[in-house]
C-alpha cells in the first residue's frame, strides 16, 4: 500500500521539520526548502510518500502542480507567527477551491505549540477563516 501526502503551508511554518521528525532525522540544522523535497517512509507495510513544497510567496503559484493524485493534504500553520495566520488562511482557502483536491482529506497542523507565544490549537480554525 502506498499513500501520497502533500505538505503545504507558508514558508517557515515547519513543514520540513515535521517531516524530518516523522522520519526520525536530526532537526537541528534545517534550511529553507528551495523548490520541493520528496521524502519516502515505511510505516508497517505502508509506504508514505511526502512532498515537501516550498511555501515562499513567489513559489506558491506552483503548489497546484502537485495536486494530482494526492491522498491527503497536511497544511502546516506557524501558530507563533500570529501576524501571518490570516495570510495562511487566505492561501488555504485558495487551495480548497481546487477541483483536484475536492475529495482529498485535509489535516491542519497547528505547529509550534511548544512555544508560550503560540496561538492555542483550538483557536486556529476560527483565526484561519477570519479574513
Ligand X SMILES: Nc1nc2c(ncn2[C@@H]2O[C@H](COP(=O)(O)OP(=O)(O)O)[C@@H](O)[C@H]2O)c(=O)[nH]1
* DSSP-assigned beta bridge partners for residue 77: 110
Task: Please say which residue, 45 or 114, places its beta carbon nearer to ligand X.
Answer: 114
Integer Rg of the chain from CA? 14
Query: Which is it for the CA torsion 83, 85, 87, 90, positive or negative?
Result: negative
Q: Point out which residues bind Mg ion (CB under 5 A).
A: 15-16, 33
Report the candidate in 99, 125, 95, 97 with the shortest Cα–Cα distance to residue 7: 95
113 is catalytic: no
All three cell numbers of 18: 515535521
112 binds ligand X (CB under 6 A): yes
State which residue, 22 or 102, has the beta carbon closest to ligand X.
Answer: 22
Q: Is 89 in the site for ligand X (CB under 6 A)?
A: no
Q: Which one of Mg ion, ligand X, none interacts with residue 9, CB within 5 to 8 A by kind?
A: ligand X
Exactly one of 3, 30, 96, 106 binds ligand X (CB under 6 A); which one?
Answer: 30
Q: Which residues form the catalytic set?
A: 56
Amino acid at each position: 500500500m502506498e499513500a501520497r501526502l502533500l505538505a503545504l503551508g507558508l514558508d517557515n511554518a515547519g513543514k520540513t521539520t515535521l517531516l524530518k521528525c516523522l522520519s526520525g532525522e536530526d532537526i537541528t540544522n534545517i534550511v529553507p526548502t528551495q523548490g520541493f523535497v520528496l521524502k519516502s517512509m515505511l510505516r508497517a507495510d505502508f509506504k508514505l510518500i511526502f512532498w515537501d513544497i516550498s511555501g515562499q510567496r513567489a513559489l506558491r503559484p506552483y503548489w497546484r502542480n502537485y495536486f494530482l493524485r494526492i491522498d491527503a493534504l497536511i497544511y502546516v500553520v506557524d501558530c507563533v507567527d500570529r501576524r501571518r495566520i490570516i495570510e495562511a488562511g487566505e492561501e488555504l482557502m485558495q487551495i480548497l477551491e481546487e477541483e483536484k483536491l475536492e475529495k482529498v482529506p485535509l489535516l491542519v497542523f497547528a505547529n509550534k505549540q511548544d512555544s508560550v507565544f503560540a496561538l492555542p490549537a483550538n483557536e486556529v480554525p476560527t483565526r484561519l477563516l477570519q479574513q
